[in-house]
Structure 1
Amino acid sequence: MPKINGNQITPGTVIEHDGGLWAAVKSTTVKPGKGGAFNQVELKNLIDGRKLNERFRADATVDEVELELKDFSFLYAQGEELVFMDLESYEQIELAADWVGERAAFLQDGMKVTLRMHEARPISIKLPAYVTLEIAEADPVVRGQTATSTYKPAILENGLRVLVPPFIEKGERIVVDTNEVTYMRRAD
């Protein structure tokens, strides 16, 4: 494992620390009046999601972990398991739906996702940033409501709720941000 100095930890860096895998979320270089400079780093555990704030002196060394990025295709849901196929080897893997989280609702047949792997073990999943979905239910427009910029609730075909502009109606297809679960625009 490559070693890096404590002042080289930047957001996105993955390190081995306290027997676990941690990703740097934020880092701030602090230069106090007395003593040496240090890097104040907010870490997130890649396995269980715990957060931790640590100070790393500039001369301290840590093990940087290289994660492998592999492309998979979503095949289908089977009970509480989601089945994916490796796009290179065609091997199938199953991941628990609760491991993927609420964003699993965005998975569509054949959708390409990227898994971050460590020693052949999935650490995190990256879905496409945007997906196109149909509005299953939307409240009707109240007369005069279009003059204001208030959004109304709607339910997507995958069951998720999203706020949409008043002109969006049932049956329309919209583009949704999968990270924020928000309306972006009408689909082309």
Structure 2
Amino acid sequence: MEFKLISFIRDGLQNFFVRRNPNLIERMNHPCETAQFIAVRRNPLLIGSINNPTEKVQSEVIKNNPGLITLLDEPCEAAQYIAISNDPFVLSLIDTTEDVRLAAIKSNPENIKFITEPSERIQLAAVRQDPKVLLYIDNASEKVQLVAERRSLHMYSFKDQDVSKVGEMNQSAFLMNPVQSSKMSNEKSINKDISLSL
């Protein structure tokens, strides 16, 4: 009971002084969450001066100003998600967790261009969604290159393949085309009628 009373008084005093001068938050060792909110609402740049800001405070500041995440020594994962969803360029400014990077890639595979040295897992996730992002990846592994090549609709490599099979593939694509197959069936019936009349 006594601790709660002391805590209540301490928090009340912090809130009182921070309302008067938000910069005082810089001198507080363990400011309460309410005092943190009061300070950053008056001056969002103070987020970098708060000793161990709470996840809620970080998230609120970053939601409105994604670039301010660079002021945090160790931004929480929630703040990282918010920052990259508002401005993917933030990926190039801070160290993010693998899960945050993966979420950025899932939202837009081109976000890989903002990730320094993406892991193979991140590279694979990106090229599986859009093989063209291979252009943004330095030192892509063979596996990543292979997946990108297989997923690409516009690139076809004949390297190490039997070129004679290309004609067969084109023929089957031609036959699977509904317009061409109906033309061929009409031609067959005409040819059949001609041969019967002869």
Q: Which has the larger radius of gyration?
A: 2
Shorter-chain TM-score: which interval?
A: under 0.3
Which structure's residues are more often strand, by fraction? 1
Normalising by structure 1, report the TM-score. 0.19
Give the structure, 1 or 2, with the largest relative contact order (CA under 8 Å, sep 6 or more).
1
Normalising by structure 2, report the TM-score. 0.18
